[in-house]
């Protein structure tokens, strides 16, 4: 298995990117509402409860950024955050009317995708989620990479496989990030990592390196910031 190798320059770039403001821009329920300013974006996907909100909050150094957006109804939206000063927002923090922004401001969008595999979700909700995601992934040139979060205790589950298949079919580059790495014992983590790496080999659009993270201890956060910064061009 390949170990991610980040230089100190990569890590610094990541740190610098996440030092600036990170602002909620909007929740998108249909592709017609997607930002069209051409700014690069990276998205976070994963099963509900995988630790996605915690990871986004750890990355951005906020305690409640991701959760703030998860007010009822928001959980099935693509939530867009902008890193860096946003031309979409006025000084009052509210969206400016009639301006889609200028890609020179604000380095990157972070997109919080709705969590899947929620036990209580109805069939109609699952269908809605799948349609939104499939439409979003299709031909979204701005989307540089999807970070697919996998619980380090459980590895790849059938619905993660389905998402990977969707990403392969849409030819969207994606990278797996193991979450909650503080939970399993070191030997268990190693076994899961090896298993995930061998599953990954079957997926053409998957980035071969796996990132290992813990929002609780901060493991892998700097590396994930560096991986994101490398895409913010």
Phi, psi of 74 (to 5 degrees): -80, -20
Does residue 176 sit in helix, strand or coil?
A: strand
Q: In the complex, what is the shortest distance from the CB of residue 226 to ligand GDP, in angstroms, rounded to a whole number?
A: 19
Beta strands, E only, 97-152: 108-112, 143-151
49 vs 159, which CB is nearer to ligand GDP? 49
Residue appearing with tokens 């305690």: 63
46 vs 87, which CB is nearer to ligand GDP? 46
Q: In the complex, what is the shortest distance from the CB of residue 146 to ligand GDP, in angstroms, rounded to a whole number?
A: 15
> Closest Cα to residue 230, out of 12, 65, 33, 44?
12
18 vs 116, which CB is nearer to ligand GDP? 116
Q: In the complex, what is the shortest distance from the CB of residue 4 to ligand GDP, in angstroms, rounded to a whole number?
A: 18
12 vs 76, which CB is nearer to ligand GDP? 76
Residue appearing with tokens 């150094």: 61
> Closest Cα to residue 221, out of 184, 181, 172?
181
66 vs 83, which CB is nearer to ligand GDP? 66
Residues that bind ligand GDP (CB under 6 A): 46, 48-54, 115, 179-180, 182-183, 214-216
Q: In the complex, what is the shortest distance from the CB of residue 50 to ligand GDP, in angstroms, rounded to a whole number?
A: 4
> Closest Cα to residue 166, out of 192, 205, 202?
205
149 vs 172, which CB is nearer to ligand GDP? 149
> Closest Cα to residue 59, out of 232, 210, 219, 231?
219
With a CB cutoff of 8 Å and minimum separation 6, the contacts of 139 are none
> Closest Cα to residue 228, out of 78, 35, 83?
83
């Amino acid at each position: 298995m390949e170990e991610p190798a980040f230089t100190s320059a990569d890590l610094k770039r990541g740190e610098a990117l996440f030092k600036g403001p990170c602002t909620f821009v909007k929740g998108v329920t249909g592709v017609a509402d997607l930002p069209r300013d051409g700014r690069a974006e990276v998205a976070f996907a994963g099963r509900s409860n995988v630790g996605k909100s915690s990871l986004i909050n750890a990355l951005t150094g906020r305690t409640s950024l991701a959760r703030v957006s998860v007010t009822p109804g928001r959980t099935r939206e693509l939530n867009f955050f902008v890193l860096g000063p946003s031309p979409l927002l006025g000084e009052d923090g509210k969206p400016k009317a009639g301006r889609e922004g200028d890609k020179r401001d604000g380095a990157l969008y972070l997109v919080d995708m709705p969590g899947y595999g929620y036990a209580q979700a109805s069939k109609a909700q699952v269908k809605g989620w799948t349609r939104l995601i499939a439409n979003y992934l299709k031909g979204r040139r701005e989307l540089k990479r999807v970070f697919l979060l996998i619980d380090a205790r459980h590895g790849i589950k059938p619905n993660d496989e389905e998402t990977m298949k969707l990403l392969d079919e849409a030819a969207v580059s994606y990278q797996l990030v193991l979450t909650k790495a503080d939970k399993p014992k070191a030997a268990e983590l190693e076994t899961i990592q090896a298993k995930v790496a061998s599953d990954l080999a079957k997926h053409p659009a998957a980035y071969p390196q796996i990132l290992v993270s813990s929002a609780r201890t901060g493991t892998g956060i700097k590396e994930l910031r560096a991986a994101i910064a490398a895409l913010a061009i």
